[in-house]
Amino acid sequence: MPVKKQPDSNASELHEGANDWFRQFLKHLELFTVETGRRLRSNSDSADYQLAAMRAVKRTLLDAGMDNEGLQNLFGRVAIEGVGASQSIQWNPELNKRRFELIDGDIQRILTPAEQIELAGLTQLMREHVDSEKNLPFEGARKLHRLLTDKDSESADSKQ
């Protein structure tokens, strides 16, 4: 397998917290990769190497504080983005429909492992969409604030 030239390290472009987290992650990933790699047979192939690498990534993320469900959701989220996707996928009615189809299959216990990962990823994406600030009911909150502010000023005026 040809070795690709590694990109120049531009740590100064990362926020300090992200830089620290990634450096710590990479140290642990290296340790877990070596540990996992030691278990490989001498006649291992690329598929064995890839599986060992994924096991090392999983152990590293679990060691960083993730739980198994969160790990599955994030792996699913990355899997549905597709290869080379530089932009984040936006939640839409088609994805919602697909998620419901997968939920039905999950209830019937007919999902393949790949579909289970897809469901986890779609669920993660849906949660991110629902929890995002753009979905907060600001207009309703503003109306409520005006109503409460007006009532408070009316109450203050009536006491004088």
Residue with tokens 């990769």: 33
pLDDT at 85: 55
pLDDT at 154: 65
pLDDT band at 152 (very low <50, low <70, confident <90, very high): low
Q: Are 98 and 106 in contact (CB under 8 A)?
A: no
Average pLDDT value for the chain: 85
pLDDT at 13: 83
pLDDT at 63: 94
- Tens-digit pLDDT profile for residues 63-86: 999 999 888 888 888 888 865 555
With CA atoms as reference, report the closest residue to 134 among 90, 99, 93, 95.
90
Calculate mean pLDDT across residues 91-110. Answer: 95
pLDDT at 116: 92
Calculate mean pLDDT across residues 124-151. Answer: 79
Q: Are 129 and 135 in contact (CB under 8 A)?
A: yes
- Tens-digit pLDDT profile for residues 27-48: 999 999 999 999 999 999 999 9
